[in-house]
Each structure stands twice: as C-alpha cells, then as structure tokens.
Amino acid sequence: MSDVLKLPAVLDLNAAEPLKAELLARRGQGVTIDASDVERLGGLCLQVLLSAKRTWAADGVNLKLAPLSDAFAEQWAAFGAPDFNTEGALA
C-alpha cells in the first residue's frame, strides 16, 4: 500500500522546506505524490522531488508521481526534467 502526498497549488520557494519535511517523514515507505492541483512549480521544489526520487530508488522503495495537473506537467517538461515515473530515468 502506498501513502499519498497531495501537493499544494503553488510549489515555490516557501513550499520547498515543508515539501522536504513531508517527504522525509515518509521515507522508507511507498509514496504516491499527487500533483493534480499544482498550478506553479518552482525550481527548488523540482530539486526536492528529484532528490526524493533518487533517495527512494536507493532505498528500493516505490515513489510515484501521479496524477499530474496540466500546469505541473508543462512546467516539469519546461525545466527539461526526466520522466519521474520511468525506472532508471534519474540514474
């Protein structure tokens, strides 16, 4: 079973530290990150999410990003970030 972490609408500088804390509190367990309400994705939160993906992969635990809002998907792609849910994409 996977825990669900619902992201806020705005993932800016102010959201980075709380996001990091939320993820660290769930370390070691499967997590699905729900980005369906995200309207704005900032670079620091992108880095937190990519770091979490690497951490979960190193721990051998599933971390999935779904569902995604159109805005989140567009901004993720605009940063040139790799597909979050593809195995080995961040290796």
Distance CA(8)–CA(12), nearest Å, equals 10
Task: Determine the average pLDDT of the residues in 31-42.
Answer: 97
Q: Sign (positive/negative) of CA torsion 65, 87, 57, 50?
A: negative
Cα R_g (the chain), whole angstroms: 12
For 50, other C-beta atoms within 10 Å of its C-beta total 15
What is the structure's pLDDT at 78? Answer: 96
CATH 1.20.1560.10 corresponds to the domain 3-78: no
pTM for the structure as a whole: 0.91
- Per the rule left: phi > 0, alpha: psi between -120 and 50, beta: everything else, 88 is left
Confidence of residue 86 (pLDDT cuts 50, 70, 90): low
Confidence of residue 88 (pLDDT cuts 50, 70, 90): very low
